[in-house]
Amino acid sequence: MISTTSFPEHFLWGGAIAANQAEGAWNEDGRGPSINDALRHGIVNGVLNEAIDPNAYYPSHEAIDFYHRYKEDVALFAEMGFKCLRTSIAWSRIFPNGDEQQPNEAGLQFYDNLFDELLKHGIEPVITISHFETPLHLVREYGGWTNRKLVAFFTRYCEVIFKRYKSKVKYWMGFNEINHMHTIPLAAGGIELRNPERKLQDIYQASHHLFVASAAATKLLREIIPGARMGCMLSLSIIYPNSCHPDDVFETYELRRRSLFYSDVLLHGEYPRYAERIFREHGIELAIEPGDLELIRAYPADYIGFSYYRSTTHKAGMPILGNTGGIMGLDNPYLTKTSWGWPIDPKGLRYVCNEIYDRYRKPIFIVENGFGDKDEIGADGTIADDSRMQYLNQHLLELHQAIQDGCEIMGYTWWGPIDIVSAGTGEMNKRYGFIHVDKDNEGRGTLRRMKKKSFDWYRQIIATNGEILLKAKDDSDANRASTEQ
C-alpha cells in the first residue's frame, strides 16, 4: 500500500558528494593524480596540461579537505538524520597510476575509516566506483577508455574494493553519469577527442569498453558480496521539444535516446536496435571481443541512479551542447531560473521517474538533485537560503507524486549537502550545501563549517519521512481553496 502522507518506510534519505570535489589531499598517502587534479577550471572548460603547475591553484587539490575533516562532516550529516551518503572512491587513491598490480594500503585504509564512521552513525555508504576521476596516467599513457586495457585495470580495482569493503558497502554504482560520454567525454571516459573525424568512433568504442567493464564489475560484486546491489548512473535532466513541429518532436526524441542508449544497454543487457542505424550512418565499427555481448547480457545493473537538475528545450537542427547539468538548449518561457541560469522544473523530475520506470521496471534512485546559488551571510551570522528550501520542497513533492504514480523509488540524495567544488567550473561560490564552507573561488578561507537555514528544514523532512512537507502542502492547498470560496 502506497502512503499518501509520507514517503516509503525504508526510503534512503541522504546527500551526495564526490571524492574529487570534496576530499582534497590530492598527493597525500600515496594518492596519484586524477584528471581533475590537472584541471584548474573544472571538467567542462578544462584542458589537460602537460604537467601540473606547482605554483598554480587547482580547486581539487585541497577542495574542502574532507580527507582530514570527514568525522566533523559525517557528524553533521548524522545530525540531519541521513540514512545514506553517496560518495565515490578515488581510483588513484587505491591504484595511484591505475595500472599497478598491488593497491595502495593507505588509500584503502582511508575508506575503511570513512565507512566505519558512517556506519557508526547509522548511515549507509552508497559508493560510486568511478566518478569523473580517472587516474591521469591512464589518460596520458593509454588514451583513456578508448583503450581495451582499461577494462582489466578497472576489474582489478573493483575486485580489491569489493573484497575490502564487502561487510561495509551494499549499494554500488559503476560510472558516474556515463551518458556524458557524448557531451563531456574527458569526464565520463577519460578521453581527449583530438581527431574530430573520429569523434563518434572513439565515443562509442570507449562506451563499449565501459559496458564490458560494468558487466564484469557486476559479476564480481555478485560473487564477492551476495545481496549487494549494482546500479548504473546517468544524467537525465529532461529535454522537451521547443515546439509541436514534428521535426522538433522527433529530433528531441532521438536526442533523448542518446542518453537512454546507455541505460538500455546497462539495464536491458543488450544493444538496442536503433543503435544499428547510428553505427551504420556514421561509419562506426566497434571492436567487440568474443564473449563481450554475452557478459553484458548476463550481468545487467540492478537499479538505475540518476541526476536531475533542470530541463531544456530542443529545436531541430540546433547544435547539441551540454554541461554537468545536462543538455543545454533553448529557454522555456514557462520556467524561472537559478542565479546560475539553470531552469527550475520540479515536474520534470516526476516526468523522468515515470519515463524511466515505464521503460525498465527496475528500482530508481535519485542520487543527485540540488540547487546551486550564492550564499548571503546575514549580520547575525545566519544564512537564510529560502530559495534552496523552496527548490527542495518543490522537487520532493513531485517525487512523492511519482511514487503515487507507481514508480519504485529507493531514495533521494541531495547533491552537495555540504558546499563542495563545482565539477563543471571549479568554483566554490556556486553553493549547493545545507552546510556552508568558508572558502572562495581562489581557495581563500578558513574552511569553517556553518549550518544554513535549510539544514534544520531537511532534518525535519527526514525525521518525519516527508510528512511535515506533505502536510504543509495540504494545509496550503486547503487555505487557498478556502480563500477562493
> Which of the residue ranges 235-244, 289-298, 423-432 would you say has the lowest mean pLDDT?
423-432
For residue 41, what pLDDT is reported? 84
For residue 209, count other CB atoms closer than 10 A to its CB. 22
Tens digits of per-residue pLDDT, 263-317?
999 999 999 999 999 999 999 999 999 999 999 999 999 999 999 999 999 999 9
pTM as predicted: 0.96
- 267 neighbors 232 (Cβ within 8 angstroms): yes
Tens digits of per-residue pLDDT, 139-161?
999 999 999 999 999 999 999 99
What would the mean pLDDT of 191-216 be, rounded to a whole number?
93
For residue 480, what pLDDT is reported? 64
Residues 6 or more apart from 67 whose CB is under 8 A from it? 23, 24, 25, 28, 110
Alpha helix (H) residue ranges in 282-345: 292-298
Task: Give the integer Cα–Cα distance in Å for 334 and 329.
Answer: 15
Does position 485 have pLDDT exceeding 80, yes or no? no
Question: When comparing pLDDT for 423 and 383, which is higher?
Answer: 383
Task: Give the integer Cα–Cα distance in Å for 187 and 26.
Answer: 17
pLDDT band at 484 (very low <50, low <70, confident <90, very high): low
pLDDT band at 477 (very low <50, low <70, confident <90, very high): low
Question: When comparing pLDDT for 475 and 18, which is higher?
Answer: 18
As to burial, measured by CB atoms within 10 angstroms (0-12 exposed, 13-18 middle, 19+ buried), residue 257 is middle
What would the mean pLDDT of 420-430 be, rounded to a whole number?
90
Task: Give the integer Cα–Cα distance in Å for 151 and 297.
Answer: 17
Does position 46 have pLDDT exceeding 80, yes or no? no
Record the cell numbers describing residue 329, joined without a space.
538548449
Does position 201 have pLDDT exceeding 60, yes or no? yes
- 104 neighbors 30 (Cβ within 8 angstroms): yes
Task: Give the integer Cα–Cα distance in Å for 15 and 77.
Answer: 8
Residues 6 or more apart from 52 whose CB is under 8 A from it? 33, 37, 38, 58
Does position 246 have pLDDT exceeding 70, yes or no? yes
For residue 48, what pLDDT is reported? 81
For residue 394, count other CB atoms closer than 10 A to its CB. 17
Does position 435 have pLDDT exceeding 60, yes or no? yes
What would the mean pLDDT of 470-480 be, rounded to a whole number?
72
For residue 479, what pLDDT is reported? 63
Question: When comparing pLDDT for 54 and 108, which is higher?
Answer: 108
For residue 298, what pLDDT is reported? 98
Q: Which domains does the chain have, with CATH numbers?
A: 12-484 (3.20.20.80)
pLDDT band at 328 (very low <50, low <70, confident <90, very high): confident
For residue 403, what pLDDT is reported? 98
Tens digits of per-residue pLDDT, 67-81?
999 999 999 999 999
Inter-CA distances, 53 with 26, 31, 39, 139, Å: 14, 17, 10, 18
Tens digits of per-residue pLDDT, 118-142?
999 999 999 999 999 999 999 999 9
- 2 neighbors 403 (Cβ within 8 angstroms): yes
For residue 424, what pLDDT is reported? 82
Residues 6 or more apart from 353 whose CB is under 8 A from it? 364, 366, 399, 402, 405, 407, 409
For residue 483, what pLDDT is reported? 63
- Give catalytic residue positions: 368
What would the mean pLDDT of 386-409 be, rounded to a whole number?
97
For residue 110, what pLDDT is reported? 98
What would the mean pLDDT of 422-450 be, rounded to a whole number?
94
Dihedral class, residue 105 (left if φ above 0, else alpha if ψ from -120 to 50, else beta): alpha
3-state secondary structure of 172: strand
pLDDT band at 482 (very low <50, low <70, confident <90, very high): low
Does position 478 have pLDDT exceeding 80, yes or no? no
Inter-CA distances, 360 with 26, 30, 160, 190, 407, Å: 39, 41, 31, 28, 11
Determine what percent of the chain is predicted with pLDDT higher than 90.
87
Residues 6 or more apart from 217 whose CB is under 8 A from it? 129, 154, 155, 158, 174, 230
Mean pLDDT computed over every residue of the chain: 95
Q: b/e per residue, 356-384, with b = 16+ CB within 10 A? A: bbeebebbbbbbbbbbbbebeeeeeeebe
Task: Give the integer Cα–Cα distance in Å for 26 and 408.
Answer: 38
pLDDT band at 473 (very low <50, low <70, confident <90, very high): confident
For residue 472, what pLDDT is reported? 80
As to burial, measured by CB atoms within 10 angstroms (0-12 exposed, 13-18 middle, 19+ buried), residue 324 is buried
As to burial, measured by CB atoms within 10 angstroms (0-12 exposed, 13-18 middle, 19+ buried), residue 246 is exposed
Inter-CA distances, 40 with 29, 177, 420, 483, Å: 22, 21, 15, 54
Phi, psi of 415 (to 5 degrees): -75, 125
DSSP conformational letter for 34: B
Determine what percent of the chain is predicted with pLDDT higher than 70.
97
> Which of the residue ranges 7-11, 50-54, 461-465 would you say has the lowest mean pLDDT?
50-54
Identity of residue 25: A
What would the mean pLDDT of 93-105 be, rounded to a whole number?
98
> Which of the residue ranges 164-178, 191-205, 375-389, 398-412 would you say has the lowest mean pLDDT?
191-205
